[in-house]
Structure 1
Amino acid sequence: MKYRQLTKEQFESLHQEFARFLASQNIDATEWKQIKEEKPNVAEDEMNVFSDVVWDDVLDKTKYLEHFSKTSANLFKCENEEIHRIAIQVNWDINLLEQEGFEWLLKNPMDNSVEVFRGTKPYNQSDRNAELFDLIEKGSAISKGEIYEYFNQLIS
């Protein structure tokens, strides 16, 4: 397995897609029920393959990630060959996880208590999706990139 299996909730929300996936392998609903009961390992393998297909599709489309903690933010722009990062550190008692703290940062990005760093690097394993998946598993969320682009314009 390349990534991790989708959660039960994710499988439920992708029910139609999973049914089409099984159909593409000539497995109908009756046969799927039988496989789950009699060959749970085969069922698990099918679910793993489907999960990898879904994750690859999602990661292929991912252009931005962001990760916030109480006093820092890491904003990523994910291009094909390299990843760009803007790291923001707030050096006073503020909570960026709360609306008030986040809004303060957006209104005061050049405050003396705010440090902004920027970097670019090629993907480590030359496997872009594996690296993005690792960032998601460590708490990053896929975003539309508005915050990244806002800070990118400020520091350019």
Structure 2
Amino acid sequence: MKYRQLTKEQFESLHVEFAHFLASQSIDVNEWDQIKKEKPHVAEEEMNVFSDVVWDDVLTRIEYLEHFSANIINLFKCHKETLHRIVVKVTVSTINLMEKEGYEWLLKNPSHEQVEILEGTKEYQQERNTELFDLIEKGSSISKGELYEYFNRLITKS
């Protein structure tokens, strides 16, 4: 397995797609029920293959990721060959970027002396999707990139 199996909730939300996936292998609902009962290892393998297909599709489409902690935000723009990262660090001890007030403070005060903004670009060390999956497993979330683009504009003006 390349990634990890989808959760029960993810499978439930993708039940129509999973049914199509099974149908593409000429497995109908009755046969699927029989496989689950008589050959659970085969059922598990089908679920793993489907999970990898879904993850690959999702990961291939990702353009932006972001990861928040109390005083640091990591913003990623996921290009085909490279990953551009903007790190926003707040050294004001009373500011928690994971809380609404802290986040709003940062947006109003991005040039504050206790806000550090760093950036860098790196080539992927592994396959792109594998690296993005690893970032997600470590707590990053897929985003539309608004925050990345906001800070990228600030950096570009400097």
Q: Establish whether TM, by shorter chain, passes 0.5.
A: yes
Alignment map for 1:56-75 (pairs within 5 Å)? 56-75=56-75
Corresponding residue of 1:130: 130
SS for the counterpart of 1:9 is: helix
Q: 2: CA distance between counterparts of 1:141 and 1:104?
A: 21
- Structure 2 gap ranges (5+): none
Corresponding residue of 1:14: 14
Corresponding residue of 1:25: 25
Q: 2: CA distance between counterparts of 1:41 and 1:109?
A: 53
Q: 2: CA distance between counterparts of 1:134 and 1:151?
A: 24
Q: 1: CA distance between counterparts of 2:33 and 2:144?
A: 39
CA drift of 1:144 comes to: 0.2
Corresponding residue of 1:119: 120
Corresponding residue of 1:142: 142
SS for the counterpart of 1:124 is: coil
User: Would you identify which runs of 4 or more consecutive aligned residues in structure 1 move more than 4 Å?
Assistant: none
CA drift of 1:76 comes to: 0.0
SS for the counterpart of 1:51 is: helix
Q: 1: CA distance between counterparts of 2:105 and 2:92?
A: 12
CA drift of 1:10 comes to: 0.1
For these two proteins, the number of residue pairs brought into alignment is 155
Q: 2: CA distance between counterparts of 1:105 and 1:48?
A: 41
CA drift of 1:92 comes to: 1.3
Q: Percent identity?
A: 71
For the aligned residues, what is the CA RMSD?
Answer: 0.4
Instruction: For residues 85-115 of structure 1, give each alpha carbon's deviation from its aligned partner in whole angstroms, at most 9, with x where no partner exists.
Output: 0001100121101111001001101100100
- Structure 1 gap ranges (5+): none
Q: TM-score, normalised by structure 1?
A: 0.99
Q: TM-score, normalised by structure 2?
A: 0.97
CA drift of 1:20 comes to: 0.2
